[in-house]
Structure 1
Amino acid sequence: MASYETFAKIYDEVMDENLYLDWLEFTCRHLNKSQQHVLELACGTGILSVELANLGFKVCGLDLSEDMIKLANKRVAEEDQMLRFKTGDMLNLTDKEMYDAVTCYSDSLCYMKNKSEVAEVFSGVFAALKDEGTFIFDVHSTYQVEEGFSEYSYHYQTDDFAFLWESYPGEHLFSVEHFLTFFVSDKKGKFERFDELHEERTYEIKEYESLLKDTGFKSVEVFADFEDIKPDELSKRWFFVCKK
């Protein structure tokens, strides 16, 4: 998995806040009223987990990055019984607790190195779900990886930091490499450079469906771009809603 040590410090500022509302609305549309206990994988700094908790869900947010979880924990009031965060790896879900629903957004599953790791995540999620539980996740479409990230470049700058994002084709089919460069100001106004490489990989819909069914999920629905519509050849983000 990629290192988020530097990225965590400015993660909230560079992320589009509207995306969290889109993920929130999609989640609520695809859970029924009895599904109140939610595990959010790759929760980052906890924004979506907090929004879910504010709606009455009991939420556990999990992320591989200790830095992300430190920031997430700052959002939790001491008396809050509906929200908690912990550091953990989605490839090794050891929590004994069972959940009504598990989510994994922001194409986090695309950080798995190969299909075997994707299958491991699916297996761990399946074991963590109660009967009739729901697993919702999103991934980049093959179109987004092949075309959307082709010669992609994004720059963001404030008085305290600069963020440069360049994307290039990866070595595998439907893979991409994101080169992130940060210039972060210290207390004296001196800028220090940090570089990170984020590698993502996706697969065709039928391959995800096959892995999910092999895991034991009894139904799988696929939607596109935060809407309850079927994907087409230009869809950028695929959403999978899976029932145990």
Structure 2
Amino acid sequence: MVYSKLAYIYDVLMDDAPYDQWQTFVEHFGNQGKMLDLGCGTGRLSHLFSNVGFSVTGVDFSEDMLAYAQANTTGVQYIQQDIRELEGLTGFDVVISLCDVINYITSVSDLEKVFANVRKTLADSGLFIFDVHSLKHFEENMAGQTFAEIYDDISYVWFCEQGEETGSVEHDLTFFLLNEETGQYERFDEQHSQRTFGVETYKELLKKVGFQSVAIHVDFSIEESSEPEESQRIFFICKR
């Protein structure tokens, strides 16, 4: 998925995202050291972790996202790669992939590739921490919904439709972005596909590629969950 123009307004749209909660959650489990941020986007989380002592490398597939990140954050090394094809990255103490990045991996075979590649990047006993939306959240709160927002310089309409596969959602977004030179709004469109799987599918794939242990948490709680599918956001803490 390439964000194109969305890269330049992503921080505005994500202004209310719980970055502080992601940071606190990860810091509870992961000691400071080398961190790999997969799907780093505009670098907000990468920058936060760099500021508290992690040595951070951010990876994203989108050139526009990385260009924005490099222009607006400091202290982070940014690399363009597809997280399904990671190369040359080893010895990390913590690998994170947050804000439902893994939901953009829409097939079981690609998920297995990602998990296997992540394990190779980790140091012994390193942690892989990622989150996904639950099936219940996609089905009850996303599929069939329409969202809209109006700001001074940006407006958007966001349609979410049930995809063909179980747990999949198709996002159609239309943006109107103010051109400050002309005073006119310019329209552009984005189409994104996401998919989530049951917790057992993720656990089976993680064990298959060699992770020693997998703990399940929900909605930023540091306590393990016995009923993760009833939550909105599911976290996986995976030890190499």
Q: TM class, shorter-chain normalised?
A: over 0.9
Distance 2:202 2:112 in 1: 9
Q: Which of 163, 176, 188 pairs up with 2:169?
A: 176
TM-score (norm 2): 0.94
Is it true that 1:75 corresponds to 2:72 in the alignment? yes
Deviation at 1:156, TM superposition (A): 1.6
Deviation at 1:51, TM superposition (A): 0.6
Letter in 1 for 2:234: W
1:50/1:75 contact within 8 Å kept: no
How high is the sequence identity, in percent, across the aligned residues? 39
Correspondence 1:11-160 to 2 at 5 A: 11-32=10-31, 35-77=32-74, 80=75, 83-160=76-153
Q: Which runs of 5+ in 2 are unaligned?
A: none
Deviation at 1:76, TM superposition (A): 4.0
Deviation at 1:11, TM superposition (A): 0.3
String of CA shifts for 1:208-227, please: whole Å, max 9, x gaps.
Answer: 00000001000000110111
Further displaced range: 19-28 or 92-101: 92-101
Q: What's 1:203 paired with?
A: 197
Letter in 1 for 2:210: G
Q: Which of 234, 240, 244 pairs up with 2:236?
A: 240
Distance 2:30 2:206 in 1: 19
Distance 1:195 1:158 in 2: 17
1:3/1:196 contact within 8 Å kept: no
Aligned length: 237
* C-alpha RMSD of the superposition: 1.4
Deviation at 1:233, TM superposition (A): 4.2
Q: What's 1:9 paired with?
A: 8
Distance 1:64 1:233 in 2: 29
Q: Deviating runs (4+, > 4 A) in structure 1?
A: none
Distance 1:76 1:42 in 2: 15
Distance 1:19 1:88 in 2: 25
Distance 1:96 1:11 in 2: 27
Q: What's 1:227 paired with?
A: 221
Distance 1:145 1:17 in 2: 20
TM-score (norm 1): 0.93
**3-state DSSP class of the match of 1:94?**
coil
String of CA shifts for 1:65-116, please: whole Å, max 9, x gaps.
Answer: 1111111112344xx4xx2112111011112432111000111111113010
Distance 2:40 2:178 in 1: 26
Distance 1:217 1:97 in 2: 16
